[in-house]
């Protein structure tokens, strides 16, 4: 797809300036005029020397100065703060440039999106100057009722290995808890978990950890995760910003 086939809400010259200098705010969401899917990008490049990055989707600025674990379009300036951006279906391209020197291409990621499909593109790897690769998920994004929350787990930490995840009341006893998602391997994706609205604690331990040892084997914790009814969230685990441990975790807003 060339840029002329898209309705872009800004001048092409401004787009060139934004990409070239690496300091301008990214333009608003893409506005395609045909069958569409939706896409978002998450930066999991574990190389501080190449972070932050600018994301350029189909030759259009999509996100600027995205640090480790940052996502776009959710971090774009208001009012362009949607969880995903619409894009024409088919084979698409996302280019990552080093923000401090946009002559440096960090990665070029090719992916496909279908009509009505939501996809998350993760940029991964890069530790110690290594290759940056990608991983994509297809996001079902079920519609919860006002008395439900939909939550899923994506394990993007190669150092953690397979994990058991617990979603409990804060400080609940893990020895008697049941995993909300068990044995989630690296690049594994759990089914959506239906929860009641409330405040939760998310903890992960190495898969198969004995109940009595769970409390001393926690790899990652998210405290006081407030979940309102009618919403959807994805919990993502990843390595540290430079690779390896300690494991980090963050939450994406799906709906």
pLDDT in tens, 153-206: 999 999 999 999 999 999 999 999 999 999 999 999 999 999 999 999 999 999
CA distances to 191, 200, 227 from 182, in Å: 10, 18, 21
pTM summary value: 0.87
Using DSSP's 3-state secondary structure scheme, residue 32 falls into: strand
Residue 144 lies in a domain: no
Residue 59 lies in a domain: yes
Residues 120 and 228 in one domain: no
pLDDT for the residue 25: 34
Residue 215 backbone phi and psi in degrees, to 5: -65, -25
Residues 117 and 213 in one domain: no
State how far the Cα of 94 lies from the Cα of 111, in Å rounded to an integer. 8
State how far the Cα of 255 lies from the Cα of 141, in Å rounded to an integer. 7
Q: Are 162 and 201 in contact (CB under 8 A)?
A: no
Sign of the dihedral through C-alpha 158, 160, 161, 165: negative
130, 174, 137: which is closest to 156 by C-alpha? 137
Residue 143 lies in a domain: no
Residues 119 and 11 in one domain: yes
Q: What range does the domain containing 50 cover? A: 3-138
Using DSSP's 3-state secondary structure scheme, residue 117 falls into: coil
Judge residue 72's burial from the number of C-beta atoms within 10 Å of its C-beta, 0-12 exposed, 13-18 middle, 19 or more buried. Answer: buried
- Among the residues of the chain, which ranges form H helices? 12-21
pLDDT for the residue 215: 97
Q: Are 30 and 93 in contact (CB under 8 A)?
A: no
Residue given tokens 């080093």 in the structure block: 98
Residues 163 and 118 in one domain: no
Judge residue 59's burial from the number of C-beta atoms within 10 Å of its C-beta, 0-12 exposed, 13-18 middle, 19 or more buried. Answer: middle
Residues 125 and 34 in one domain: yes
Using DSSP's 3-state secondary structure scheme, residue 254 falls into: coil
Residues 161 and 244 in one domain: yes
Residues 28 and 66 in one domain: yes
Residue given tokens 């501080």 in the structure block: 48
State how far the Cα of 11 lies from the Cα of 38, in Å rounded to an integer. 23
The structural domain count of the chain equals 2
Which tokens is 234 given?
């994805």
What pLDDT tens digit does each residue of the chain (255 aa) get?
A: 433 333 233 223 223 333 333 323 333 345 667 899 999 999 999 999 999 999 999 999 999 999 999 999 998 887 778 999 999 999 999 999 999 999 999 999 999 999 999 999 999 999 999 999 999 999 999 999 999 999 999 999 999 999 999 999 999 999 999 999 999 999 999 999 999 999 999 999 999 999 999 999 999 999 999 999 999 999 999 999 999 999 999 999 999
Residue 156 lies in a domain: yes
DSSP code of residue 187: T
The residues pairing with 122 across neighbouring beta strands, listed in sequence order, are: 42, 135
The domain that contains 188 carries what CATH number? 2.60.40
pLDDT for the residue 238: 98
Domain-terminating residue out of 106, 138, 170? 138
């Amino acid at each position: 797809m060339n840029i002329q086939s898209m309705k872009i809400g800004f001048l092409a010259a401004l787009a060139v300036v934004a990409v070239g200098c690496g300091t301008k705010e990214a333009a608003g969401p893409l506005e395609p005029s045909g069958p569409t899917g939706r896409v978002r990008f998450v930066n999991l490049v574990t190389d501080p020397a190449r972070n932050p990055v600018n994301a350029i989707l189909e030759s259009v600025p999509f996100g600027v100065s995205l640090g480790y674990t940052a996502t776009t379009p959710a971090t774009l300036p208001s009012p362009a703060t949607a969880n995903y951006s619409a894009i024409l279906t088919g084979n698409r391209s996302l280019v990552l440039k080093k923000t401090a020197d946009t002559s440096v291409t960090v990665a070029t990621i090719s992916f496909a999106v279908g009509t009505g499909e939501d996809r998350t593109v993760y940029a991964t790897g890069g530790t110690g100057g290594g290759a940056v690769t990608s991983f994509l998920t297809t996001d079902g994004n079920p519609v919860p009722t006002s008395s439900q929350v939909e939550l899923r787990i994506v394990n993007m930490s190669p150092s953690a290995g397979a994990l058991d995840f617990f979603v409990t009341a804060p400080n609940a006893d893990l020895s008697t808890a049941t995993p909300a998602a068990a044995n989630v391997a690296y690049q594994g994706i759990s089914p959506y978990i239906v929860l009641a609205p409330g405040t939760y604690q998310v903890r992960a331990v190495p898969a198969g950890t004995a109940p009595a040892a769970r409390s001393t084997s926690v790899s990652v914790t998210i405290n006081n995760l407030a979940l309102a009814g009618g919403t959807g969230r994805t919990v993502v685990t990843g390595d540290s910003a430079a690779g390896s441990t300690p494991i980090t975790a963050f939450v994406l807003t799906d709906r």
